[in-house]
Amino acid sequence: MANNILIVPEARDGSLRKVSFELVTVANEIAQGLGGAVHAVVLGNEVSASAEQIAKTGIAQVYQVDHAALQNFAPEVFTAALADVIRKTQPAVVLFGATGFGKELGARVAARIGMGLVADCTGYKVEGGTLVLTRPIYAGKALATVKAKSLPVMVSIRPNIFPPASADASPAPIEKIELSANAARSQVVEKVQKEAVAVDLAEAKIVVSGGRGAKNAEGFETVKQLANTLGAAVGASRAAVDAGWIDYSTQVGQTGKTVAPQLYIAAGISGAIQHLAGMSSSKVIVAVNKDPDAPIFKVADYGIVGDLFQVLPVMNEELKKVLAEK
């Protein structure tokens, strides 16, 4: 039997989240190693455009489960729908994003159909027919190597680690699958949009984060200004969030979001292990801190010892000039 890989792209508000295309990249390589094809299942309400988009990434087959009951993320309905597709298509590996959606859905589906689950992977390879995965453990202090002793297995992939596949290939066939049972036990009555953020933290290429060193909400504006110039997402340490200077949704770390941007700028953040857990996979880390012994400098690629209220405005002005020349 072919060792096919089934990816679970994330359709939201009429389009696919970037992690969906990163899953294609990972799936293609695993499929090569295991000798199978890449399939995708798009779940949601009126998700034809999303199904068509993922069909153009060079994969072999798309399944579309389209139903009004999948309009909002009702986990029990999505679980039933995905479990059905897995039973029908018998993939060797089910790949999804280690996002809020993927974490909730993956665990439920794994339990429902009795599959193993390797969560939040940042590396993978196929060795002699065995899938070998890497995942950070102990808040990012160590990397575990996990061998999938048997297939099928479910694997979640950390967003922003792997390059996204492009969607310009000739389209794969799309097969519509009926939702067999609408198992909704809860109903979303209302969705309240929080303060609109310019750039999604989890998917941002650049993140500028501030900590207790920003001193107060007004001081945090200095951090936001630099983020604005760079088109970056704003992040924060728990100290800044707990102080009420910025919304909890911006917290980076063990009890906040995990980010892996190309560039992470940490201003007035000491570098506690719980903060590092959420950002140490960033490609380039720049730290601005007035204490030369701050632990953040141990993980930083570039360190600036100085007062953020002096350093950030200069960076901001210089970057504006550079960007204006482009």
Ligand X SMILES: Cc1cc2nc3c(=O)[nH]c(=O)nc-3n(C[C@H](O)[C@H](O)[C@H](O)COP(=O)(O)OP(=O)(O)OC[C@H]3O[C@@H](n4cnc5c(N)ncnc54)[C@H](O)[C@@H]3O)c2cc1C
| Residues 246 and 291 sit within 8 Å (Cβ to Cβ) | no
Triad 252, 214, 291: Cα angle to 5°: 90
Binding mask 293-322 for ligand X (x = CB under 6 A): -x------------xxx-------------
Give whichever of 188 and 197 is closer to ligand X, judged by the CB atom.
Answer: 197
243-272 positions binding ligand X, by CB under 6 A: 251-256, 268-270, 272
Q: Using the rule CB under 6 A, give the single segment among 43-51, 118-126, 150-158, 290-298 that binds ligand X.
A: 290-298
Q: Is 60 helix (H, G, I), strand (E, B) or coil?
A: coil
| C-alpha 74 chain-centroid distance | 20
Applying CB under 6 A, among 154, 240, 246, 263 the residue interacting with ligand X is 240
Nearest approach, Cβ of 21 to ligand X (angstroms)? 27
Q: Using the rule CB under 6 A, give the single segment among 103-111, 126-134, 152-160, 282-290 that binds ligand X.
A: 282-290
Instruction: Indicate whether 97 belongs to the interface with ligand X (CB under 6 A).
Output: no
Nearest approach, Cβ of 96 to ligand X (angstroms)? 23
Shortest CA distance to 51 belongs to which of 62, 60, 59?
62
DSSP secondary structure of 84-149: HHHHHH--SEEEEESSHHHHHHHHHHHHHHT-EEEEEESEEEEETTEEEEEEEETTTTEEEEEE--
Q: Provide the terminal-to-terminal Cα distance of the chain, rounded to the nearest Å.
A: 53
Nearest approach, Cβ of 135 to ligand X (angstroms)? 18
Residue found under tokens 């989890």: 202
Site of interaction with ligand X (CB under 6 A)? 211-213, 237-240, 251-256, 268-270, 272, 274-275, 278, 288-291, 294, 307-309
